[in-house]
Homo-oligomer: A and B are copies of this chain.
Amino acid sequence: MSSHLDQTFAALADPTRRAMLARLAQGEASVSELAGPFLGSMSLPAVTKHLKVLENAGLVIKTREAQWRPCRLNGTPLKDASNWIEQYRRFWEESFDRLDAYLKTVTRSDKGRHDGRKKKSR
């Protein structure tokens, strides 16, 4: 049992899969169209599997048209991923760097101790 976010982030952790999403951002594509750029370095079944991971994560929706499987990107799981990350925005923005710098100025001694004792002063 793995959460939605688990699956989304796991799917995004692979460069082949991110490239496939990038391709799909340009528009619908069949499996072989998606596979094209990778067939030099991996087999078609490997691509099918990557696609399955994206599909299971809900990032790609595969339909049927004759012997083709047109795929399109579904962004909704990315919304949750984005929201999750956004929680941490302050940790990479300027304002935080300044806060951080400030916190470093304040002596960490007592706040930082785990044994409830004072640190020797330097």
Contacts and interface: CB of A to CB of B under 8 A. Distances in A.
Interface of A: 3, 5-7, 9-10, 12-15, 18, 21, 25, 28, 30, 32-33, 65, 68, 70, 73-76, 78-79, 81-82, 84-93, 96, 112, 114
B25 A87 contact: yes
B21 A13 contact: no
B76 A92 contact: yes
A112 B78 contact: no
B6 A9 contact: no
B82 A25 contact: no
B18 A13 contact: no
A9 B3 contact: no
Given A12-B9, A15-B6, A114-B30, A85 B92 contact: no
